[in-house]
Structure formats: C-alpha cells, structure tokens
Chain A
C-alpha cells in the first residue's frame, strides 16, 4: 500500500470517524434502536464511488472498529458490523446497476440494508423475534436518511473527483 493511498484512506477514515462521533452527540431523532442519520455513510459511499471497493471497505471497517471504541460501546460493534457489511454489499451490487447521476439510489438501499442488518443482529443477540415490528419504521428512516446521505455523497463525489484520484 503506497504512502499516498494510506494517507488518503486514513484522512477519509478520520473524516468518517469525526462525522460519526459528532452524530453521536446529536439528540436522537426517534427513540428506536438503530434510527440515526448515518452521516458517516457519506464517506463510505463517496469512497466507494471514487476509490473502489477495497479502499472503501477498509475505511468502513476502520471507522466501525474505532467508532465503537471511541464511543465506549463495544457491544454496538456487532450491530454496526452486521449493518455496515450488509449495506456495503448492497452498495457494491447497486454500483453495477446505476449511473453516476443515480448514486443517491444506492445510498437509499444501503441505508435500508444497514437497518435490516442491525435488526437481524439485534434479534439474534436478544433472541427477540418481535423486534421485527421495528422493521417498517426503520425502513422509512432508512429511505429518508439514505436519501440525505446519498445526495450529499453524490455532490461530494462530483467535487472530490480530482482530489481523490487513485
């Protein structure tokens, strides 16, 4: 891994981490586990569409690991991981189906997948299938927050295209 690439990925991870920590300080929108803006995903989406899958995945994993550590909530690691990986898989899949101008669509589906993954992990961990009742609410919030992060990421990709060259 070249120095430049390492530095660039590290900066992006730091950015994602900062956004993540700042978001933690914001008051919750809804008192439902898993509902948040997921602003850090802006970085994931941006990285994927400019740098490619390996770099984006590395940044995502580092952010999740460090984020859980910094937030002092290692329990959340499992939920973040399952949500994060599932949404990443969806992003990868969607990338093949979309044009550059439709990037925000990938983000919407990724956000939904993220919440789905978190619910699945929560159901497994707490052995409480009835947590499924949160799925519709989480889908709505996924669409709304995914739209927001997606549009932001799309804007960022356009702007950072040249800066984040491989």
Chain B
C-alpha cells in the first residue's frame, strides 16, 4: 500500500514538473538602465516585452532624436501618440497630487547640474533662479493628441517611465495568461503573481548607507519602486549633491529621508511617488499615504530609522545588519 502511494506521488510530481511553465530570463539595456525580465512561459513573452520596451524608449527618450518627447522639448510642441498622452496625463496627475514635489518639467535644472551627462557641477544661485522660472508642470498644455510647452521649458518622464513600463509589460503578460513573472527595470520592480512554487517574489530594499539590502518585501502582484539619493550623486567641497532635485528650490532634495520605497498595484504611481515623497519628507509622505489606500511605504531616514506603513506589516522584514533594528509602523487614524 505504501509502495503504491509512493508511486502515485512520484508520478504526480513528475507530471507536475512536466506541465510547469519554463523559466525564461532576459537582460535589456534601455532607458539608461539595465532591465531584467523573468517570466514563466514561452520565449515569445520575452520578445513581446522587448518590443514594448523598444517602442516606449523610441517615444519617451529625452535624448533620442525623433522621439515624441525629444520633439516636444526641441520644438515646444509635438503630436503625441495615444499611449504617450496617457502617460503624460498620468504623470501630470501625480505632479498635482504631490503638489509639485514631482515635477516632470524639472529637466532644465537636472541638466544644469550635469546629472544627464555626468559632467557634474553646482550651478550658481542666479542660474538656478532663472531655470526655476521654467519649471511648472501646470504650464504643460495637453489636448487633442498634442502637447505644448512654454518657451524654454522641457519635459522628462524619466521619473515615471519605468513604472509605466512595468504596468505595460505586466498588463501584456497578464493578457497572455502569464501567472508568474518578475520585472526589474533598473530598480523599478514589478512582481506578477508569485513564484511557481506558490511563494511570493522576494524583493530586497537596498541599504541607502552601504551595500546589500536592509529588508525584504514579499511581493505579489505589486510594483516596488525605490528612490534614494545614493543612486546618482557627486561630491564637491565636502558636500554631497544627489540627482533628486526639489522642484521648488532647484537644489537636491533635503527632506531628511535617505530612501523611499513605494509598494502598490500601479507601477506608474509607485515610480512617481517614490521620487516625490523623497522630496516631501517623512511627515508629508505619511500624510499623503493616510489620504489614500493604493500604496504602502518603506521610509528610511537619514538617521537610519526605518518606517513602514501598516499595509506592509506582514510582508516586510529586516535583514542583514538591520535585523536587530526596530521598524516603526505608521498607522492610519
């Protein structure tokens, strides 16, 4: 009897492993970053994802000659494809939601600091003041498949594009019946379903003060996006200047946060908010979170304290050297 049972179990196991989708991975270099694609299913799924990435880059790249955004920035107006309009609308909504802490027109300042080219410099006060006048997302006129910018203004969708790309690829894969996939688009992660063994995807949140990660989020059908000053920065005269600028001051955001991780179902929202909340700081970020139910946060202060919002309580855990630290849980009400 035991032998029969054992046989049946072995057979079931064999059958199950035959029917299980195969793991496919690919690495794509696009949008100034490395993108890692993992999916359980056909090879064609990766092909589809690459097509989406190529298409998105050809429309949204700031630097690529002939892209819709490039055309908009160089001519002050451009016809936009429906998809780009949708993204731009979504981005402008986020700018409004965060009261301008996210501003897609901050690009001229980012360029002045040299973050686009790597030739870093600290611009003078006058230069910054002058460029700040061009920064105003409200001045982006959008309608009838066309966008217009005031003189000298420029749009960069870099702060939301990867999240939007997460949504696009995950949506496509879902339509194609994918049950399990993982996107890591240069640090903007999307977990489609869980792993085939039923467990959640484990997403490490990088330690802003060192190498390795400070904690792990068990992710299932959510985007996880982190923004931190450590991603791109330079030092001059003993000061550190990072690439996330406060659109109000034109200087690197100095809100007391070292990294902001946003977890939610919509990649676009998570991507945009991670940048904005880094600019806004702990208190404003908490307040914004209390007013909504579509995302959760991991906030690391410059003092090394770790805060999470209560939705992550059962899926976030500290690891490595952070293991013995206290996580402060932010609750509603």
Contacts and interface: CB of A to CB of B under 8 A. Distances in A.
Interface in A68-115: 81-82, 85
B9 interface: yes
Nearest to B5: A124
11 contacts: A81-B1, A82-B1, A82-B2, A85-B1, A120-B2, A121-B2, A121-B5, A124-B2, A124-B5, A124-B6, A124-B9
B177 to A, nearest CB: 27
Interface residues of B, number: 5
Nearest to A117: B2
A82 B5 CA distance: 11
B14 to A, nearest CB: 14
A121 B3 CA distance: 11
Interface string B1-25: 1100110010000000000000000
Interface of B: 1-2, 5-6, 9
Contacts of B9: 124
Given A82-B2, A120-B2, A124-B9, 8 more contacts: A81-B1, A82-B1, A85-B1, A121-B2, A121-B5, A124-B2, A124-B5, A124-B6
Contacts of A81: 1
A65 B215 CA distance: 50
Contacts of B1: 81-82, 85
Contacts of A82: 1-2
A21 B6 CA distance: 30
B9 to A, nearest CB: 6
Contacts of B6: 124
A121 B4 CA distance: 12
A81 B6 CA distance: 15
A120 B1 CA distance: 12
Nearest to A85: B1
Nearest to B8: A124
Contacts of B5: 121, 124
A143 B1 CA distance: 26
Contacts of A120: 2
Interface string A122-166: 001000000000000000000000000000000000000000000
A140 B186 CA distance: 56
A77 to B, nearest CB: 12
A87 to B, nearest CB: 13
B105 to A, nearest CB: 56
Nearest to A127: B9
Interface string A38-62: 0000000000000000000000000
Contacts of A121: 2, 5
A85 B9 CA distance: 20
A120 B5 CA distance: 11
B57 to A, nearest CB: 45
A85 B6 CA distance: 16
Nearest 10 Cβ contacts at the A-B interface: A124-B9, A124-B5, A82-B2, A124-B6, A85-B1, A120-B2, A81-B1, A82-B1, A121-B2, A121-B5
B8 to A, nearest CB: 10
B122 to A, nearest CB: 59
Contacts of A124: 2, 5-6, 9
A6 B2 CA distance: 29
Nearest to B2: A82
A64 to B, nearest CB: 13
A81 B9 CA distance: 17
B197 to A, nearest CB: 11
A124 B9 CA distance: 8
Select the residue from B5, B6, B9 with max chain A CB neighbours within 10 A: B5
Contacts of A85: 1
A81 B2 CA distance: 10
A121 B9 CA distance: 12
B322 to A, nearest CB: 28
B224 to A, nearest CB: 30
